[in-house]
A and B are shown apart, each in its own frame.
Chain A
Amino acid sequence: AQTVTQSQPEMSVQEAETVTLSCTYDTSESDYYLFWYKQPPSRQMILVIRQEAYKQQNATENRFSVNFQKAAKSFSLKISDSQLGDAAMYFCAYRGNFGNEKLTFGTGTRLTIIP
């Protein structure tokens, strides 16, 4: 079974600075998908970024980028120019390929933005 580990329960960063959230996973599959979801106090789960394992290029969405290291099974999220609205719980998630679409989540990292 796949597992996802987020070893940083809490992180904090000064506004406008850069922060990196860590995620590691364990799988025996070669094709899979990785996601970062943001959960603000409203509780809504919001997709931040996704990465297909077959793509070598790291995904980027505006201020959010990932460092995907397939051999090391590592998938970290970098937030540049942190803003107050980035404060939230961040969850890393793994999804297998067609036929194994279940999402497996990590336990989350609570990110605090310091004004």
Chain B
Amino acid sequence: NAGVTQTPKFQVLKTGQSMTLQCAQDMNHEYMSWYRQDPGMGLRLIHYSVGAGITDQGEVPNGYNVSRSTTEDFPLRLLSAAPSQTSVYFCASSYRVSQYTDTQYFGPGTRLTVL
């Protein structure tokens, strides 16, 4: 049981480049989400998914795309990287059962630098 895994751990991009941050979980969690962490601002929700084929926007979705084709995977795509997207990105997942909401478990994070 690997929990929530993220790749890569570090990435440097040039402005305008695109890339995909990978997130996978092996706990059969329905709910998955992406956050970005910036100094002094805590973690902010980018996109989330309540199950395969279902995604929705969070607080700061601009410049990012997601899809959820399987329960296990939830990739985050940067369409055209900008310096403002320099941040640490976390993926999280949890069970989602009616009348019971479980704790979200986090991956180790990806530190992204856009030059």
Task: Determine which of B45, B50, B103 lies in contact with A50 in the assembled complex, contact meaning CB atoms within 8 Å.
Answer: B103
Q: Which residues of B contact A97 (CB under 8 A)?
A: 99, 101
Q: Is the CB of B103 within 8 A of A35?
A: yes
Task: Say which one of A11-19, A68-76, A101-109 lies at the interface with B.
Answer: A101-109
Q: Are B101 and A98 in contact (CB under 8 A)?
A: yes
Tell me which of B33, B99, B108 contacts A103 (CB under 8 A).
Answer: B33
B104 interface neighbour in A4, A95, A96, A108, Cβ under 8 Å: A95
The size of the chain A interface, using a CB distance under 8 A, is 23
In the complex, A45 has a CB within 8 A of chain B: yes
**Residue of A33, A35, A96, A98 ringed by the most chain B CB atoms within 10 A:** A98
Cβ of B92 within 8 Å of any chain A Cβ, yes or no, is yes
Q: List, sorted by A's number, 25 A–B pairs whose CB atoms are closer than 8 Å.
A: A35-B103, A43-B109, A44-B106, A44-B108, A44-B109, A45-B106, A45-B109, A47-B103, A47-B105, A91-B42, A91-B43, A95-B101, A95-B104, A98-B100, A101-B50, A102-B33, A102-B45, A103-B33, A103-B45, A104-B45, A105-B35, A105-B43, A106-B42, A107-B41, A108-B42
Q: Which residues of B contact A (CB under 8 A)?
A: 31, 33, 35, 40-45, 48, 50, 58, 88, 90, 92, 94, 96-101, 103-106, 108-109, 111
